[in-house]
């Protein structure tokens, strides 16, 4: 019964609520110690993703942590760099991969990435194992990257390589439809506008890159995720509608299929997450899926001892990956 009724996380006393915990982590934090080595991975369909490696030593280690970033994020975000630093300090190499179009250069194809796309993560895992011969992989992801990670682990456990031992994900919208509505509340408009501006900018860049292949005439009128996903995400990635995209891509429906120890940490004061994103029943029914719900943390926050120190998400992930029995 891997529902964890208590959490040791205590937010920084100066960050009194979920909004402050969310904003401080994304705007004030700096992690200068991480130096990436970039590599381009060519994908089977002719597109590419960029991989940023942070090695624990001069030679590759036996253990690797793969980090999946959030919506419209990249490997340079403080929460990704912080996790890479924590993994290195624990003796893991770290691989922070950038989704299609997120590495600083638009991708080649009309399609991009979406929250249910597990094929690219599978390809990154395959490449890491075959090219560097890691014997132990741990997966971690934040928000959208956590959704992709959970879906990957649960949708077809037989395809997960034996080298993938554990996973820990944070601030995950396991119910995509409910989350897409929840973030449209007036309290969340500051976040929604930022996401929508980024998504619209990327569509303009892609339209210039692939002239005549995208209808951008209504782009400026799209004000929320359901509108954007109905107009672009769903049709560009083979879904009949935004609702079908949300239904098939939401990780919540795949949690019962997970067969390695996997931890989800969602803060109860996360401004992005509705009640349906705290899947306690799935944890109680599983031998492998652990759910931890600290009272604080915000969305991809979890600050403990100052903006640039170690965050609870990093400490918790490393602990989960290295303990003899997770929990």
- Dihedral through CA 171, CA 132, CA 35, CA 99, nearest 10? -40
State the residue for tokens 């969602």: 266
CB atoms within 10 A of CB 317: 28
Annotated catalytic residue, options 26, 75, 143, 251: 143
Element (H, E) at 8: none
Would residue 114 show up in a list of annotated catalytic residues for this protein?
A: no
> Which tokens sit at 230?
């109905």
| Pick from 183, 179, 326, 186: nearest CA to 258 | 326
Would residue 143 show up in a list of annotated catalytic residues for this protein?
A: yes
In the chain, what is the straight-line distance between the N-terminal and C-terminal CA atoms, in Å? 11
Element (H, E) at 18: helix 18-27
The residues that bridge with 290 in the sheet, in sequence order, are 263
Residues 6+ apart with CB under 8 A from 134: 60, 61, 62, 63, 64, 93, 128, 163
Report the alpha-carbon angle 62-102-236, nearest 5: 115
Q: What values do phi and psi take at 155, rounded to 5?
A: -75, -30
CB atoms within 10 A of CB 1: 10
241-252 exposure pattern, b = at least 16 Cβ within 10 A, e = fewer: ebbebbeebbbb
Annotated catalytic residue, options 117, 270, 286, 313: 270
Q: Answer whether 121's CB lies under 8 Å from 99's CB.
A: no
Would residue 276 show up in a list of annotated catalytic residues for this protein?
A: no
State the residue for tokens 């990249």: 74
Active site residues: 143, 270, 299
């Amino acid at each position: 019964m891997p529902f964890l009724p208590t959490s040791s996380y205590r937010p920084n006393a100066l960050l009194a609520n979920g909004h402050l915990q969310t904003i401080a982590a994304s705007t004030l934090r700096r992690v200068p110690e991480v130096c990436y080595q970039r590599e381009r991975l060519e994908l089977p369909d002719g597109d590419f993703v960029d991989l940023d490696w942070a090695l624990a030593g001069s030679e590759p280690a036996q253990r690797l942590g793969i980090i999946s970033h959030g919506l419209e994020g990249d490997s340079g975000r403080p929460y990704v760099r912080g996790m890479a630093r924590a993994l290195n300090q624990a003796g893991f190499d770290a691989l922070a991969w950038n989704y299609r179009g997120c590495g600083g250069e638009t991708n080649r194809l009309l399609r991009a990435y979406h929250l249910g796309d597990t094929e690219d993560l599978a390809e990154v895992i395959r490449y890491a194992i075959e090219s560097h011969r890691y014997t132990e992989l741990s997966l971690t992801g934040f928000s959208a990257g956590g959704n992709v990670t959970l879906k990957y682990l649960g949708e077809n456990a037989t395809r997960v390589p034996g080298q993938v031992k554990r996973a820990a994900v944070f601030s995950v919208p396991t119910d995509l439809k409910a989350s897409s509505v929840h973030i449209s509340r007036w309290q969340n408009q500051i976040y929604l506008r930022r996401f929508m501006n980024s998504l619209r900018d990327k569509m303009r860049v892609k339209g210039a890159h692939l002239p005549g292949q995208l209808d951008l005439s209504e782009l400026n009128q799209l004000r929320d995720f359901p509108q954007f996903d109905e107009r672009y995400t769903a049709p560009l990635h083979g879904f009949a509608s935004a609702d079908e995209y949300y239904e098939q891509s939401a990780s919540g429906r795949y949690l019962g299929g997970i067969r390695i120890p996997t931890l989800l940490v969602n803060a109860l004061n996360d401004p992005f997450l509705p009640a349906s994103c705290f899947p306690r029943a799935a944890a109680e029914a599983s031998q492998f899926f652990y759910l931890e719900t600290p009272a604080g943390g915000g969305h991809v926050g979890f600050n403990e001892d100052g903006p640039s120190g170690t965050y609870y998400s990093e400490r918790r992930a490393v602990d989960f990956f290295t303990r003899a029995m997770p929990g």
